Structure 1
Amino acid sequence: MPLKDEIKAIASEIRDDILAKRRHLHQHPELSFKEFNTSAFIKKSLDEWGIPWMPAANTGVIATLQGNKTDKTIALRADMDALPIQEETNLTFKSINHGVMHACGHDLHVASLLGVAHILKRLEKKINGTVKLVFQPAEEILPGGAIKILQEGVLLNPKVDVILGQHIMPSIESGKVGIRKGRFMASMDEIRIKVKGKGGHGAEPHNNNDPVVAASTIIVTLQQIVSRSNNPKTPSVLSFGKIEANGSTNIIPDVVFIEGTFRTMDEHWREEAHKKIIEVSKSVAGGLGCECDIDIKRGYPCLHNCETLTDKIHSYMREYIGDTNIIETDIWMASEDFAYYAQNFSSCFYLLGTGYYGRTNPSLHTPTMEINEECIETGMGLMSYLTFRYLNLTE
């Protein structure tokens, strides 16, 4: 039987087991670096299949399959953590942990990689190289679990040659995948600004230095950094989602807090923008009789897919699911700590379609996000095939 057909047959055979694992994980989500039960569940599954593993990055797990040769090493990554969101779906297996939900699909990522582990173990004699399965904690919070994985050196000895990762995408129909070479996902920084003025009675603004007006003016003025200072060819986003002014209808507060995010696709411009955000904020505040403190917490870098590797992966995808099921995606202004792996190894991060055909699918990070579970066979089968093809395995 051709290797492709063999993989598809195994994926179909184990589908119900992997589906059950995904539902268990969805029902028992855990927040970043608190994935203790998730980690134990992964280890138990690996033990049942006789796959050796080691702990990493607190709650993470690194499993290894050693093939007939050692000249190539590929890593496959799945993130494990959930989000602080109260689930509002009607699923029979909805989250039982109050205020915690797998709204970004990491339950599917883990289940799919477990499926890959099972498939690879069944075909272990055909592996001509080393495969490292990276179950990574804490993608959702800074500084992220990827950097800890790298710092601990678990992707060395043997050193990983390439690393692959997949992420669910509800806007892509189940059975399809999205891929893009070159720049793909944005950097991400958290911005916190404290505007300090002199509060007082709302009826006597002339006796105050109003930090609410200063904060509002800062937000509006900062938008010109993206619209006027940035090269229009470089995608950038500056958004503020939180303003906290503890005053009232007739009380001007002393302090206002602002929180937002800056994202871009260019690391040099990222540095320049940080400086401008600080300069403009202080200048505007000072011009209105206020002061401000600015903290920019540096987040994940831009994610760049290796062009040579991604071209290969694209061709392997055609072999497995056909060209009509592959979408060449646009850039995505979301951020991913997979970008740290991409800075150290040749990498390809692609999107796994999880949407239902002909209906509106709730987006990621929302309390009603659901996936079409038909994607599970595609997810684990495709990643298994990509692994074999990269390692030049014979049938």
Structure 2
Amino acid sequence: MPDPESYRIRGGAKRMIDVSILENPKVDAAFAFHVWPEFEYGIIGLKDGILTATSDIFRVNITGKGGHVAKPKSTNNPVLAVCDAIMQIKLIENSEPHILDIVDVDVKADAKNIIPTSGIFWGSIRTLSLETRDLLEGEILKILEDTKERYKVEYEIDFIHLDYLPVINDLNNTKHCENSASKVAIVRRLINPYFIGEDFGWFSSSGIPSTLMLLGCSPIDRIGNNELHTDNMIVDERTLQLGIDIMTDVALSYNLETNINITSGTKYEITDEAMQNTPSNTCNNSQAGDLELQEYMDIDY
């Protein structure tokens, strides 16, 4: 089993902050894109406040007393303890939105007539605040203490915080991004956060007004069948230029107080089908009814 320390990933944003990327010169704001295959090319997802979650894991090792299956009373069966602990963890209730699930179980005996000595399971915790994460970890510890007493076993647990903090979009910055993106794309205002992990959250946690935009990238025929971080994800490559041009507008208009006049080039359409297939995690876009967008090629400053 890998050393839990090998899972303690420090995202790129944290490493940048550790080497003083926010100082000299001082950073006033941070903006970023994440490609988003749920949306068709030409759609930008924006949300005020919390956009993404923490992403953490835990490993539990339960040790009992193994032996021959013909003499179960002489053993403290860790298989039963592991199963019961998993079921109790799945029953944890918390009023705050979260995801708590078991992702891997490893309980192996040397032979089919042997009760093993130990068993290991892994879980994932995703929350929208560090406070909720702490509460859930406390509940897990209570369950393991109860399991220890009930089955006469011992346990070890590693809570592995992967250094992905919630992305909290700044209200003013997000409006600024909407102004830039809506010149050339359909802006979708999101209602609910996503339980993905994203290290960009370190910038907002450092006190930097930040906004992460979701850059729709799917070809129209892939909507609903194009998943992030899978081997079958397909990107409409026009997304690259669209993202560059929107971010150019965001940066120049923010830092230089300059409005970019985007000269129209080739026209394309966001189809009615794409609008209907857009996930329900959206409300009215800032250009409702205007399905014709302009794919721009020339920028005048």
The TM tier, using the shorter chain, reads 0.7 to 0.9
Corresponding residue of 2:209: 346
Output the amino acid matched with 1:209: N
- Pair 1:141–1:294, CA change in 2 (3 A): closer
Corresponding residue of 1:261: 124
Output the amino acid matched with 2:100: L
Give distance in 2, aligned partners of 1:217 and 1:256: 12
| Structure 1 unpaired stretches of 5+ | 1-139
Residues 173, 354 of structure 1: 8 Å contact kept: yes
Corresponding residue of 1:379: 243
Please tell me whether residue 148 in structure 1 is matched to residue 15 in structure 2.
Answer: yes
Give the one of 112, 123, 126 matched to 1:249: 112
Corresponding residue of 1:275: 138
Moved more, 188-197 or 246-255: 246-255
1:1-395 matched pairs, under 5 angstroms: 142-225=9-92, 228=93, 230-231=94-95, 234-247=96-109, 248-299=111-162, 300-321=164-185, 325-329=186-190, 330-344=192-206, 345-359=208-222, 360-391=224-255, 392-393=257-258, 395=301
Give distance in 2, aligned partners of 1:365 and 1:200: 43
Q: Deviations over 1:256-288 (max 9, x none)?
A: 111111011122222122222112122223311
Aligned residues: CA RMSD: 1.8
- Pair 1:308–1:167, CA change in 2 (3 A): same
| Structure 2 unpaired stretches of 5+ | 1-6, 260-300
Q: Aligned to 1:185, what secondary structure does the other structure show?
A: coil
Q: Aligned to 1:319, what secondary structure does the other structure show?
A: coil
Give distance in 1, aligned partners of 2:253 and 2:70: 73
Residues 222, 281 of structure 1: 8 Å contact kept: no
Higher relative contact order (CA closer than 8 Å, sequence separation 6+): 2
Corresponding residue of 2:268: none
TM-score (norm. length: structure 2): 0.77
Count how many residue pairs are aligned between Structure 1 and Structure 2: 248
Residues 237, 263 of structure 1: 8 Å contact kept: yes
Give distance in 1, aligned partners of 2:146 and 2:25: 52
Q: Deviations over 1:4-34 (max 9, x none)?
A: xxxxxxxxxxxxxxxxxxxxxxxxxxxxxxx
Q: Aligned to 1:167, what secondary structure does the other structure show?
A: strand
Give distance in 2, aligned partners of 1:362 and 1:195: 39
Give the number of the structure whose residues are more often helix, by fraction.
Answer: 1
TM-score (norm. length: structure 1): 0.60
Output the amino acid matched with 1:174: Y
Identical-residue share of aligned pairs (%): 27
